[in-house]
Amino acid sequence: MTHPHCYGGSTVPNEPVAVTCKVCGGHVHEFLDLGRQPLSDAFREPESVAPEFFFRLAVGRCESCTMVQLTESVPREKMFHEDYPYHSSGSAVMRAHFATVARRFLDTELAVPDPFIVEMGCNDGVMLATINQAGVRHLGFEPSNGVAEAARAQGIRVRTAFFEEETAARVRAQEGPAQVIYAANTMCHIPYPESIFRGVDALLAPDGVFVFEDPYLGDLVAKTSFDQIYDEHFFLFSGHSVRAMAEHYGFQLVDVDRLAVHGGEVRYTLARAGARVPSAAVAGLLAEEDASGLSDLTTLRRFGDSVLRVRDDLVALLRRLRAEGSLVVAYGATAKSATVTNFCGIGPELVSYVCDSTPAKQHRITPGKHIPVRPPTAFRDPYPDYALLFAWNHADEIMAKEEEFRRRGGQWISYVPDVRVL
């Protein structure tokens, strides 16, 4: 059953047009339709009358390489632009994570004469800052000039461009090969992997590594964290699909690391085919996926059924709380919350406002459902009765910061992996 305020919501979709895999060209079987969605980071001025861009958010699995992907892509220039509001350094947890990543590279792959590292989608330079402090040659690619300027202000070398074959080849000609090409929460955004891999092939040293970390399909399915599906997350990677993608473009998956950040990610290390021996961790992850049936359509359709259950339970809870006269707000104007609000039909009538620490989002309204965004000070003046935790992947950090809310009787609402009042 589709909620009356939702568009779509089917787990047995019609497929009016054939969708081909962006990796191998195989047929993509759609298994979940999350309806009509806006750009997830398009926070608007309240008085704006400009039309919003909407697209159909649906996800499917390739029958050949098992890659899970959106069935409709959004032009990259609409998502990553001058006003792109996300800053990676906004979370203490993420700052610590990227400092650890940088130190690991410095101790391993970059412990060679005149090392060179390139980062795709370097954002505000949170990882490259540690590299820069170590005096190591580096370059960040960042197409969103606003966050690129924040990186440059720290002395980080940034090129305001998309990483692809042409731009990578130009860097190779000017600066030589890179020992490491790294990307965090970036590869999953890119629906044209062939150009990326051609660029990696042009720029990477013969014994270098291409390392990227992104949300992991296994965690998404296990946690029913359907809000990880939005316009910027075109691909939802698994060990099997990344191995197939790497081999398709002449590379090899040689290592994997499970990560706790962002609700569950995997860091994939790729090398040129035959250049390195794959670690035991690769075989372990693939065996785990085989045992759980992660790549099976039946598993993914069961996930879709769980998504509908979470939607219905969340809307029912919010309606009951508002009917009882409770003040309900949300915490964290995340990109992924656009999927939740628009799929579930949650607007200001159910959630009065959402508080967020990002200045670029404050005093604006959320994409599609137009919930007001206020600074964190509004959360305490007065405290609400309930807070819907959109930034659930930062729950520990947020709850520690907002202990007074709980002491005064406030309660958190979570919807991952199911709807609960904490």
Segment among 6-10, 192-196, 388-392 with least mean pLDDT: 6-10
Give me the domains of the chain, ranges plus CATH numbers: 88-298 (3.40.50.150), 326-421 (3.40.50.720)
Question: Would you say 233 and 215 are in contact if contact means Cβ atoms under 8 Å apart?
Answer: yes
Q: How many residues does the structure list for the chain?
A: 422
pLDDT at 17 over 80: no
**What average pLDDT does the segment 62-91 reach?**
76
**What average pLDDT does the segment 24-42 reach?**
95
**What average pLDDT does the segment 49-53 reach?**
91
How many percent of the chain have pLDDT more than 90?
Answer: 83
Helix residue ranges, H only, 208-279: 217-223, 239-248
Residues facing residue 148 across a β-bridge: none
Question: Would you say 216 and 238 are in contact if contact means Cβ atoms under 8 Å apart?
Answer: yes
Phi, psi dihedral angles at 191 (to 5 degrees): -85, 15
pLDDT at 89 over 70: no
Q: How confident is the model at residue 12 (pLDDT cuts 50, 70, 90)?
A: very low
Give the C-alpha separation, 211 to 124, whole Å. Answer: 19
pLDDT at residue 83, rounded to an integer: 55
Give the C-alpha separation, 188 to 67, whole Å. Answer: 11
Give the C-alpha separation, 60 to 30, whole Å. Answer: 4
pLDDT at residue 263, rounded to an integer: 81
Q: How confident is the model at residue 5 (pLDDT cuts 50, 70, 90)?
A: very low
Q: At what angle do helices 165-175 and 193-203 cross, to 10 degrees?
A: 10
